[in-house]
Amino acid sequence: MSYKAIAIGASAGGVEAIRKILSALPSDFPLPILIAQHLQAQKNSHTEDYFRKYCRICIKEAESNMEIKGGTVYFAPPDYHLLAEKNGTLSLSTEGKVNYSRPSIDVLFETAADAYESKLAGIILTGASNDGSRGLAEIKRRGGLCIVQDPKTAFMETMPASALKLINADYVLSLEEIVDLLVKLPKL
Amino acid sequence: MAEIIIKDEQNLPQDEQDITVHLLLEVLYHKYGYDFRNYSRAHIKRRLLRRMALDKFEDLEAMLPALLRDKELLEQLLADLSINATEMFRDPSFYKRLMSEVLPVLRTYPQIRIWIVGCSSGEEVYSVAILLKELELYEKSTVYATDFNEKILISAKEGIYPIELIKGYTRNYQLSGGLSSFSDYYVTKYSCAKFINGLKENIVFASHNLVTDSSFINMHLILCRNVMIYFDKVLKNRVLRLFHESLNGGCFLCLGTKENLSGTDFEDKFSVFAENERIYKKKLI
């Protein structure tokens, strides 16, 4: 298959879930990871600092026109949408909230699906809204890999459950199982 | 003005939908003179698809003949593409810094010229006007508020905002270090708040297109916040050149909270005045 990128969306309980996933990845993990995590709008989110304490993989807060590189995690800054471009860069937007959220997971997933088509793996984690369901459906429509955290294992089950109502995911997994799959993904 | 050819290499269309986006942008440029070819392509595509769905076009291709014939669709797209989620005193800590450290420096000039770029519906403009009033700098200041969208300039000029938003604006104003009462600056009628004429006297609202038009001169302060995030690197550099030419030495450029000059051609031509608030100063040499 040869996946080119991973996109992750999370809301309430997401910081912990994402930490569990990212901290298990080696520093030479070859794929880029794009993340839209719902956070309170604030200027300095300290996201980079927080995750760097736990992760070997490179952690960055996304900036406009930033090149997407393998082995790097890109977080959407608080109160900005994160978009993936077909030319391998990232864009930010201050457009109106989507699903009451900015960053919106739908915006990230839909643009990433357009940019990477079937070579994208999308993951929906814990959360209290249904942001991301439509985005994951778009990833599915383009032939990408759809992974949803098992609602039974999620801090808040609304978001993964909502995604599963909309599409048949390829995998419904616990966080540990998601980690196992991600580690194998570059070789698939 | 010399014609600037912006290479479209990075945005070569790969599938039919992308080709159509490309064509729509070409029509917008060649027929109507609005150049979005160097904007973030993912952003443009999303706005076009949204308009397609709202107006119930069968597909993007169906928008092409409509755009070629129909001024209404043009106006609609210009509105779609110039929307900038904005509010009064957005990022209060920025305005606080502006009020306490930037504007007092400008006090030394006999006349203060301020350019607010991509002013959209005007919230940023009136925010700055209020600060100028409170620092008693308003009388010797001129604020140039520009946008390429003429329709939105008209509404910015009116300075009318829904009353539901005023509560949030008031809080932002207070957090920005506002010295008096936010309600001093507007009158309410029905469900709207209208900014007083005293705030509008020294504001010039003008149409200006960052992509195609030339620079202003002798500016002391330029605010361009969350506009360049929509531009690709080529356009960003072009616009920064415009700002650099427009600013007096030692004067200020303000960007949005997640914007910066790194990776641009002008990184070395500005010093960092306030890193957290993205306020830069044009170097003298």
Q: What is the interface pTM, i.e. ipTM, of the complex?
A: 0.92
Q: Which of B46, B239, B276 should be substituted to probe chain A, the one whose Cβ sees the most A Cβ atoms within 10 Å? A: B46
- Residue B9 is predicted with a pLDDT of 43
Do A37 and A75 contact (CB within 8 A), yes or no? yes
Active site residue A150: no
**Confidence check: pLDDT of A3 > 60:** yes
Average pLDDT (A113-136) is 97
Candidate list A45, A106, A129, A131, residue with the active-site label? A131
Do A188 and A1 contact (CB within 8 A), yes or no? yes
Does A77 contact chain B (CB < 8 Å)?
yes
pLDDT tier, A188 (very low <50, low <70, confident <90, very high otherwise): confident
Check A96 against B83: CB less than 8 A apart. yes
SS3 B132: helix
* Cα of B229 to nearest chain A Cα, Å: 5
Cβ contacts of A80 within 8 Å, gap of 6 or more: A92, A93, A94, A102, A103, B229, B258
Chain B residues touching residue A114 (CB < 8 angstroms): 42, 45
What residues pair up with B162 in beta bridges, in sequence order? B192
Task: Tell me the C-alpha to C-alpha distance, in Å, between residue B116 and each of B77, B229, B283.
Answer: 23, 16, 20
Chain A residues touching residue B226 (CB < 8 angstroms): 94
pLDDT in tens for each of the 285 residues of chain B? Answer: 444 444 444 445 568 899 999 999 999 999 999 999 999 999 999 999 999 999 999 999 999 999 999 899 999 999 898 866 678 998 999 999 999 999 999 999 999 999 999 998 999 999 999 999 999 999 999 999 999 888 889 999 999 999 999 999 999 999 999 999 999 999 998 899 999 999 999 999 999 988 888 888 999 999 999 999 999 999 999 999 999 999 999 999 999 988 999 989 999 999 999 999 999 999 997
Chain B residues touching residue A86 (CB < 8 angstroms): 11, 14, 18, 41-42
Active site residue A11: yes
Convert the pLDDT of each residue in A24-37 to its tens digit: 999 999 999 999 99
- Residue B209 is predicted with a pLDDT of 87
Cα separation, A62 vs A73, in Å, equals 9
**Confidence check: pLDDT of A52 > 70:** yes
Chain B segment 227-256 residues within 8 A of A by beta carbon are: 228-233, 236, 256
Check A91 against B46: CB less than 8 A apart. no
Q: Which of A60, A91, A109, A142 should be substituted to probe chain B, the one whose Cβ sees the most B Cβ atoms within 10 Å? A: A91
Q: Are strands B112-117 and B141-147 parallel, antiparallel or unpaired?
A: parallel
Q: What is the dihedral of CA B128, A95, A10, B168, to 10 degrees?
A: 40
* Cα of B144 to nearest chain A Cα, Å: 23
**Confidence check: pLDDT of A124 > 70:** yes
Question: Which residue has 């005193």 as its token pair?
Answer: B89
Q: How many residues make up chain A in this entry?
A: 188
> Is the peptide bond between A103 and the residue preceding it cis, with omega within 30 degrees of 0?
yes
Cα separation, B284 vs B281, in Å, equals 9
Chain A residues touching residue B91 (CB < 8 angstroms): 43
Tokens of A55: 């992760």
Check A93 against B43: CB less than 8 A apart. yes
pLDDT tier, A48 (very low <50, low <70, confident <90, very high otherwise): confident
What residues pair up with B279 in beta bridges, in sequence order? B254, B274
Give per-residue burial for B188-199: e unless 16+ CB within 10 Å, then b. eeeebbebeeeb
Tokens of A165: 């109502």
- Residue B86 is predicted with a pLDDT of 79
Do B36 and B29 contact (CB within 8 A), yes or no? yes
